[in-house]
Amino acid sequence: MFKVQLSSDLSINLLTPKYAEELVEALKENQNSLKEWLVWAENIPVIEDYQRSIIPMWLQKFADNNGFETGVFYKDELVGMLGLHYIDWSNQTTEIGYWLSEKMQGQGIMSRAVEGLVTYCYEELNLNRVVIRAAVENEKSRAIPVRLGFKHEGVQREAQQIRDKFYDIAVYSMLKNEWKK
């Protein structure tokens, strides 16, 4: 199974149906903060939905070589998710998405995980460009690409609707030849 050990206490693992209960618990525990920025978090599916359809869909995405969804594990506890929304092989580009449990924020966990995934994108997948998008008002999510040296490309005006409000989306990118110079 796909697993990237980022350090002795941090790894990203492909999620399988056995993680459904732990994932739903983490989502429900963090639902209020997640739904502020992620429209899918408004209604958390039940464990069985993750086991029967959602996680198998993610596994098929991985099998199709078109991105993946991993759990972020800190000291063997599922504390968030990190993934590639898609992989555009013809243009060698991808987009990263992530969320982290509130109780684990502020410790550099997601920055380390994203850093490891970006390195994986360049070294293992041989991609050229990685994109991160976040609502302009979502300062915590935007801090990660800034911290990792991503270039701010601009803002997509009112590009995301959550409930009845439209949000501007900040776009960041990193090119392979810029990474870790």
CATH number of the domain where residue 137 is located: 3.40.630.30
Q: Which three-class secondary structure string do you get for 79-101?
A: EEEEEEEEEECCCCEEEEEEEEC
**Segments forming the whole domain that contains residue 18:** 3-178
pLDDT at site 181: 65
- Tens of pLDDT, residue by residue over 34-82, are 999 998 999 999 999 999 999 999 999 999 999 999 999 999 999 999 9
pLDDT at 1 over 90: no
pLDDT at 139 over 80: yes
- Number of structural domains in the chain: 1
Average pLDDT over residues 130-138: 97
Pairing of strands 129-135, 165-175: antiparallel
